[in-house]
Amino acid sequence: MIVERTSLTDESYRLPRDYVQKHRVIPLGIDEGRLAIAIPDGLSLEIRRDLEIFFNQPLTFRIHQVSELDNLIQEYLESGGETIEGMLKNIDSDEYSTGDIYFSQSVENLEDMALEAPIIRLVNLVISEALKQRASDIHLEPFEDQVKLRYRVDGILYEQTPPSKTLFPAIITRIKIMANLNIAERRLPQDGRIRIKIANREVDIRVSTIPTIYGESLVMRLLDQSSSLLDFGELGFEPDTLELFRKNLQFINGIILVTGPTGSGKSTTLYSSLNLMNGPDKKILTVEDPVEYHITGINQMQVNDKIGFTFATGLRSILRQDPDIIMVGEMRDLETAQMGIQAALTGHLVFSTLHTNDSASTIARLLDMGVDDYLVASTVRCILAQRLVRRICPNCKEEYHPGPSELNALDLPIDSQVSFYHGRGCEECNYSGYRGRIGIFELMNITPEIEEMITSRRNSSEIKKLACTHGMVTLREYGFKKVLNGVTTLDEVIRVTQV
């Protein structure tokens, strides 16, 4: 059968350039109603399934010789790479316009549009491009006369080429279908999940929609399941802090708290800690919302508020499972905190998180929740506050001599000959000067003196001052070390450590 190759340059049937080069697979055209793909002999079934998911249809696979594939790949790549801009140019927005773009379109209309190939391909491309740029979140937001598409990369939002307002409802509907959300409900917030594979990467996507006056605003949180857990050195720990933190991991009971705002890397630190302690002699159980990474050998449970399965109910069940180590995703309320403390008192090592600005204020937060001061003092082993700072891009990193204001910020003499570094900006870092992130930490060990201050209900500033006299390094001081070591910039440290 001769395949009609008129679709070779059709944007609806394009694959990302790097995927074609890596797996040597090329769309050929339509053969008896199916898209035909040229593949090398021995291509795995997993890659074939990935392609069918990517194109959202059954495919016909045709094995080609190496020389034939080389010619096809060269022709395919020379025909131009797939981009969001290219796809938008090839979609006739007028086809999707039925009057008022949000309030007037029927559910049936939107569902039909969302199931059309161009919309499916556009949504897939938005997600794959976000992964390519290392984005953690995708934001799709409607406004009065425009739509915004933004990716959060290394904690900062960057605008992308947006779809037109006429395409927006169909795009939102497509994502809601993928996340098993109610496409007819546009007046209430909804939450869902998508599990997909793109370019051989397994990605878990948390989807959140909220109603606004111009339509539904949607955010997708991307959790790349294929990324490996980091060891403590890669997280950014300095040797002395790491040694002290590891000592706390050796306790058989007590509570270890990791604190910081959303997106500060708390989950990564917890997972890395559990992965280090994971072994045949330890039973580890977690209750999370959601389970972000799957670790072999650890029993992980996911909160489901819709059926009443909360952190507290999950923790209650965990205690009957004879665990050695417990991880509770977050101490959100008094009931969860009290059960975590009860677990620590009965011989378990408990890990959890709180949203606080620094380590000392975590004590005040627990007391404000209603936990008895003597229980906090007797069960909490240490509190690790953390932030993520952007790394200077290694490709465009350059040295410079800091000015007086920068030297003053680090308490360095004006005539100091120390060198700082920054990123000039290049294509590798999207001209931001930064690429990737690393942690900065503030570890407060609960010493007998601090226990006494807790039971005396002393304020956070007094506790922090005492901890510093015992050798605690504050978040900002920790960040300054990263500046002097050429890892990040002073502006970046000041930005993330503002209280």
Mean pLDDT of the chain: 86
Pick the more confident residue, 10 or 173.
173
Predicted confidence band of residue 65 (pLDDT cuts 50, 70, 90): confident
Give the pLDDT of residue 27.
Answer: 86
Residue 293 DSSP symbol: S
327 with 270: CB under 8 angstroms? yes
Predicted confidence band of residue 227 (pLDDT cuts 50, 70, 90): low
Q: Which of 42-51, 305-314, 455-464 has the highest mean pLDDT?
A: 455-464
384 with 269: CB under 8 angstroms? yes
- Tokens representing residue 352 in the block: 């959890």
174 with 114: CB under 8 angstroms? yes
Torsions phi, psi for 13 (to 5 deg): -120, 30
- 191-213 pLDDT, tens digit per residue, is 998 888 766 677 889 999 999 99
313 Cβ neighbours under 8 A, 6+ residues apart? none
Looking up tokens 């980091």 gives 230
Is the pLDDT at 294 greater than 90? The verdict is no
Residue 260 to residue 267: CA distance in whole angstroms: 10
Give the pLDDT of residue 5.
Answer: 45
Q: In what order do the strands lie in the sheet with 434-445?
A: 299-302, 284-288, 325-328, 349-354, 254-259, 380-392, 434-445
- Tokens representing residue 475 in the block: 């978040």
> What percent of the chain lies above the pLDDT cut of 90?
52
- 149-161 pLDDT, tens digit per residue, is 999 999 999 999 8
Give the pLDDT of residue 458.
Answer: 94
Full-model pTM:
0.76
> What percent of the chain lies above the pLDDT cut of 70?
87
- 460-469 and 359-369 helices, crossing angle to 10°: 140
Give the pLDDT of residue 12.
Answer: 58
Residue 55 to residue 53: CA distance in whole angstroms: 6
What number of other Cβ atoms are within 10 A of residue 354's Cβ?
20
Residue 261 to residue 77: CA distance in whole angstroms: 43
Least confidently predicted of 40-44, 72-76, 83-87, 378-382: 83-87
Distance of CA 438 to the CA centre of its chain: 14
- Tokens representing residue 338 in the block: 């009290």
Is the pLDDT at 433 greater than 70? The verdict is yes
Is the pLDDT at 309 greater than 70? The verdict is yes
DSSP strands (E only) in 155-298: 156-160, 190-198, 201-212, 215-224, 254-259, 284-288
Beta bridge partners of 150: 139, 159
Give the pLDDT of residue 349.
Answer: 97
Predicted confidence band of residue 223 (pLDDT cuts 50, 70, 90): confident
Q: In what order do the strands lie in the sheet with 201-212?
A: 156-160, 147-153, 135-142, 215-224, 201-212, 190-198
Is the pLDDT at 100 greater than 90? The verdict is no
What number of other Cβ atoms are within 10 A of residue 259's Cβ?
23
Least confidently predicted of 52-66, 174-188, 332-346, 480-494: 52-66
Pick the more confident residue, 8 or 32.
32
Beta bridge partners of 151: 138, 158
Mean pLDDT of 342-368: 95
Give the pLDDT of residue 118.
Answer: 76
Give the pLDDT of residue 241.
Answer: 94
